[in-house]
Structure 1
Amino acid sequence: MDALEALAILALSAVLSAVAFRRGLLTKDGAAAAFVSACIIGLCGSIWWLLAYLVFPAVAFAATMIDIGKKEEKGLQEGKKGERSALNILGVGLAPAAIALVNLTDSTFGGGDTADLLACAFISAVAVSMADTVSSEIGVLDDKVWMITTMKRTEPGINGGISRLGLLSSLIAVFIYAFIAWFFVFGDFDLLFLIPAVCGMIGNLLDSVVGAVLENKGLISKYGNNCVTAFAGGAVGFLIYFAAA
């Protein structure tokens, strides 16, 4: 990586984090966490990894603002006005940042032999967060919600609840995301983009299961759930790409 690319990554990370904070999309600590995670992803991966990652918060914030008034009336919004804190950022950003760090280690000491595997794992991890966020933000607007473990009707916004609107929205979002991110990171169009797309949906459903089984019992926080399922999605993406390539 040359100095110009590194400076571009730092500048982009700083500007976007500051803008998100100024617009009330991130808290102060959330903006700091977003800056750090974006820098790690960009500097340890590439500026294309960073751009692929940034598609996620752009869509996530847009989904958050959809019918935000109705969400606030029901108390289903994130934070006070839909803003994200450092814990939110760590929940979705820790896995891709960790994969980027492994990528740097591999390229520096291992010859970059697993570069494509790690790139697929990276996109898959972000795809999980994309699917989960869109499913949650859009799904809470659907009054018909079922608990994933029992398929009995439940209230919107509850951990483990799934809806047709949420699942359909997340399915569309994650396939579009995987297609775009794959092009950014790999520089071509390939049906292998279906790997992170599928991993995103698997991770989204796993997030609901963990929410129903563990989160509702206080055994894991929603941030921990987000982090664990993102890592799981990345690991599955890594293994599927290894088997397919």
Structure 2
Amino acid sequence: MTSTLRRAGGFAAVGTLALAAPELGRAAAAPFAIVALLAAFVVDEGPVFDLFARPQDRRDGRLNGLAGFALAATGLAILSTAPRQSMPTAIFAAAVLVVAYGNVGARAVEQVDDDPARAVAGFGLVAFLAALGGQLIVGWTRGAQPSLPAVIFLAAAGALVAALLRSMLYERDDPLVMLSTGLLLWLFDAIGVSAGLTEVGVALAVTVVLGYLSYWTGTASVPGMVTGVLLALLTIVFGGVGWFAVLIAFFGIGGLSAKYRFEEKRERGVAEDNEGARGSGNVLGNAAVALVAVIGFAASGRMPMDADLFRFAFTGSLAAAMSDTLSSEIGVLFDDPRLITTLRRVEPGTDGGITWQGYVVGAAGAAVVSAVAVGFFGFAAPGLAALAVVCGGVAGMTVDSLLGATLEGGRVGNQTVNFLGTLAGAVVSAAFAALLL
């Protein structure tokens, strides 16, 4: 057993203290606070130091990594014992165990295989099992009867969130991963899971298979794959099959468009980096607004808002993402693009450069999204609903091009521009629906 795997096992042992929270009650934070104090100020040599020390810890002469891990767990424990609106104890345990045991899974896989995708899969699988077991143990200890669909969903969502953050950050950032996972799981738990066991199981199986296919076909990088799986899972559970159909239409067609005549794009110098595989930044830039919309829809019963507006915001944002993706991926194959702000000719691939062919294809992409949405959502006025989605898609594509011509570069990156373009699509579609439907 290598030192990295032993160290991960040591952290997992510390994380297991979270299972004592039901018995400790208000003192749930105490064990982690004690570990943090010992790691920061007492243990600076000996076998315990050797077990937990990371390379930077050895240079500093103190267990900063363990101290940060324990402090993050302490913070979540305090939230779980707050007098009002406290985080459920099961969520606290799941967040700690996801990070602690997920790292064991990743390190174990790395002993036999250096494929980063398999390491992420190892992290996710062990993290899922740990979070699932942790929630069930805490529930039984408290004498509660946990909802199995909710427990499975929260375990899967926590594992995916942590795996995504872990793939983007460093090992020393585990406290941030733990806190972020805990807060998001708290939000998901507060929204509630109405889907049954079969629906959650099918959602998990379908999204994992599609995520693997996206990585295997080269349409997504490892972080992009995890991001896509997480978004798809949340969309199915909080929205439903129709929401997922709209999302997968964008991811499927958009991903394939990046591969379309890829060698020709490479020769022109306008091909996407990483062989056209979408990273997490690209996925989130295009789908973050849609994710907020589906979560808003799930929580709409507690807000004085029409749930249909969230449907239009969701479809409008993805129509904008589809329009921009197709207009960019197809438009760069044509000569003589013009800058959208001045209409002067620019080189293919120039930010804000458009071709009429790309614009037509982009509008067609928005029409595809609208057709899928109308078919699954069953809007009362399908013609006007389709028009609202198409208008949102074209508006978002236009805003994306305008921002590309005026702001993109320097401090404003492509992901930010994509986000603002999809936000414009969501606002236009929702506003159209609010005024005319």
Q: Distance in 2 between matches of 1:121 and 1:78?
A: 28
Asked if the contact 2:366/2:394 (under 8 Å) is kept, the reply is yes
> Counterpart of 1:73?
267
Asked if the contact 1:183/1:189 (under 8 Å) is kept, the reply is no
Q: Distance in 2 between matches of 1:243 and 1:188?
A: 14
Asked if the contact 1:147/1:154 (under 8 Å) is kept, the reply is yes
Q: Distance in 1 between matches of 2:373 and 2:412?
A: 30
The partner residue of 1:211 within 387, 401, 404 is 404
Q: Distance in 2 between matches of 1:223 and 1:11?
A: 29
Asked if the contact 1:64/1:82 (under 8 Å) is kept, the reply is yes
- Report the CA distance between 1:194 and its aligned residue: 0.9
Q: Distance in 1 between matches of 2:352 and 2:361?
A: 17
Max Rg structure: 2
Q: Distance in 2 between matches of 1:167 and 1:140?
A: 11
Asked if the contact 1:134/1:169 (under 8 Å) is kept, the reply is yes
Asked if the contact 2:319/2:365 (under 8 Å) is kept, the reply is no
- Secondary structure of the structure 2 residue equivalent to 1:87: helix
- Secondary structure of the structure 1 residue equivalent to 2:219: coil
Asked if the contact 1:9/1:47 (under 8 Å) is kept, the reply is no
Matched, 1:52 2:238: no
Q: Distance in 2 between matches of 1:169 and 1:92?
A: 18
The partner residue of 1:31 within 202, 208, 225 is 225
Matched, 1:160 2:352: yes
Matched, 1:9 2:180: no
- Report the CA distance between 1:77 and its aligned residue: 1.5
Asked if the contact 1:159/1:215 (under 8 Å) is kept, the reply is yes
> Counterpart of 1:63?
257
Residue segments in structure 2 that go unaligned for 5+ positions in a row: 1-194
Q: Distance in 2 between matches of 1:180 and 1:157?
A: 30
Asked if the contact 1:203/1:232 (under 8 Å) is kept, the reply is yes
Matched, 1:135 2:327: yes
Instruction: Letter of the 1:159 partner, please give it.
Output: D
Of 128-137 and 43-52, the range deviating more from structure 2: 43-52
TM, length-normalised to structure 2: 0.54
Asked if the contact 1:182/1:188 (under 8 Å) is kept, the reply is no
> Counterpart of 1:229?
421
TM, length-normalised to structure 1: 0.94
> Counterpart of 2:216?
22
- Secondary structure of the structure 1 residue equivalent to 2:275: coil
Q: Distance in 2 between matches of 1:231 and 1:6?
A: 29
Asked if the contact 1:5/1:47 (under 8 Å) is kept, the reply is no
Identity %: 26
> Counterpart of 1:146?
338
Q: Distance in 2 between matches of 1:23 and 1:59?
A: 13
Q: Which has the higher contact order (CA 8 A, sep 6+)?
A: 1
- Report the CA distance between 1:188 and its aligned residue: 7.3
Q: C-alpha root-mean-square deviation of aligned residues, in Å?
A: 1.5
Q: Distance in 2 between matches of 1:239 and 1:187?
A: 16
Asked if the contact 2:395/2:424 (under 8 Å) is kept, the reply is no
Instruction: Letter of the 2:362 partner, please give it.
Output: S
Q: Distance in 2 between matches of 1:130 and 1:203?
A: 10
Per-residue Cα deviation, 1:206-232 (whole angstroms, up to 9, x for no partner): 10000111004x231100110111112
Per-residue Cα deviation, 1:19-53 (whole angstroms, up to 9, x for no partner): 11112111111101111111122222112101111
Q: Against the structure 1 CA distance between its residues 189 and 179, is the aligned structure 2 distance closer, same or farther, given a 3 Å change threshold?
A: farther
- Report the CA distance between 1:198 and its aligned residue: 1.0
- Report the CA distance between 1:132 and its aligned residue: 0.1
Asked if the contact 1:95/1:227 (under 8 Å) is kept, the reply is yes
Paired residues, number? 242
Q: Distance in 1 between matches of 2:264 and 2:391?
A: 31
Asked if the contact 1:182/1:189 (under 8 Å) is kept, the reply is no
Per-residue Cα deviation, 1:45-93 (whole angstroms, up to 9, x for no partner): 1121011110011111222222111111122111231111111111111
Of 17-26 and 176-185, the range deviating more from structure 2: 176-185
Of 52-61 and 73-82, the range deviating more from structure 2: 73-82
- Report the CA distance between 1:187 and its aligned residue: 6.5
Q: Distance in 1 between matches of 2:246 and 2:423?
A: 17
> Counterpart of 2:393?
200
Of 132-141 and 224-233, the range deviating more from structure 2: 224-233
Asked if the contact 1:99/1:122 (under 8 Å) is kept, the reply is yes
Q: Distance in 1 between matches of 2:205 and 2:378?
A: 23
- Secondary structure of the structure 2 residue equivalent to 1:154: coil
Per-residue Cα deviation, 1:154-190 (whole angstroms, up to 9, x for no partner): 0111110000110111112211221122212337771
Asked if the contact 2:255/2:278 (under 8 Å) is kept, the reply is no
